[in-house]
Amino acid sequence: MKKLLLLYTGGTIGMVQDQKGILVPFDFNNITENVPELSRLDYQVVVISFDPILDSSNMNMDSWVEMASIIEKNYYDYDGFVILHGSDTMAYTASALSFMLENLAKPVILTGSQLPIGEIRTDAKENLITALEIAAAKDEHGHAIVNEVCIYFDYKLFRGNRAKKTEANKFEAFSSPNFPILAEAGVHINFNSEVLMPRSEASFVVHKKLKNPISLLKIFPGISPAYVHAVTSAQGVKAIILEGFGAGNTCTDDWFVASLQQAVASGILILEITQCIGGNVEIGRYETSKHLAKMGVVGGLDLTFEAAITKLMFLFGQELSLNEIASQLTQNLRGEITA
């Protein structure tokens, strides 16, 4: 019998209505009362719940360390892991865990729902049951088919650090604009073996040091010098994520260029990603981004914002130099970029 660890952190999926019609979290140790279909699966499912459970809006680096620590402690005792999580910040958590859990040879599947598990039209049961099936899936050699951190939602399996929440009100809440889906669940679960991460033969390593000396500069037409200066000169900032237009274009006003140059000169690393949902940054492709290349801004290729921020947190936690971090940002560590 396959053994799976189900980690409930919080979120809509774990809610039921009490006698007054108010949504309250239920005890996931009694999960079969709300999802009796689980008893028909030939798995041993062990449940661990955060205490207290968290709305995903309150997730932070400590929450990710707690998740990683639970997986580390139980890694060799289970065939796979399913994390139940609120959808709002699920892509951030999936991205962070992808960097923290190195040399995975087992699946870590995050899922949740748009409607509580107690609702008649809920998407929670299908998401949960199929996530468990994916976490238990083995190939003909008895190895896990999925060996990475993923998000399963609305019949699709996404690479965790490639996914974004793009819908607030539809069941198909997530998309992966720059990378194919890893699997699709229909009558059968069809895995896209060509894009799945290979099984690592190296020793499993958990990185639990994260740091966040990071700021965000999202440009927009009419952006003010005062705002840019406030971001680029903020105390304690060691890296800035610059969200540019299109393929990495920005305004070329002298004051704007000077602000970025001053930041770089003071030892701040600038990583540029695109504001677009799809596509990638190509610094220097247009005249309006050549100045960025000259001053040493790092092009983030097709990193999502969620992957960019968590990759920086991970790299700063490794106590690397700024040059080493800049180099690592353009390397494909966990399938997060198309090099």
Q: Which residues are catalytic?
A: 12
Omega of the bond prior to 52 within 30 degrees of 0, cis?
A: yes
CA-CA distances (angstroms) from residue 47 to 26, 217, 326?
13, 40, 40
Taking the mean position of all CA atoms in its chain, how far away is CA 14?
20
Amino acid symbol at 296: G
Rounded Cα–Cα distance for residues 15 and 145 (Å): 31
Q: Residue 45 belongs to what H/E stretch?
A: strand 43-49
Q: How far apart are alpha carbons 1 and 68 in whole angstroms?
A: 25
Identity at 202, one-letter amino acid code: A
The Cα–Cα gap between 178 and 170 comes to: 21
Q: Can you read off the two tokens belonging to residue 128? A: 């949960």
DSSP 211-279: ---EEEEE--TT--HHHHHHHHT-TT--EEEEEEBTTTB----HHHHHHHHHHHHTT-EEEEEESSSSS
Contact 23, 64 (CB under 8 A): no
The helix or strand, by DSSP H or E, that contains position 184, with its residue range, turns out to be: strand 183-185
Please name every residue paired with 81 in a beta bridge, in sequence order, or none if there are none.
Answer: 5, 108
The DSSP bridge pattern shows strands 269-274 and 298-299 to be parallel
Closest CA to 96 of 9, 212, 188: 212
Residue 150: closest CA among 116, 180, 125, 171: 180
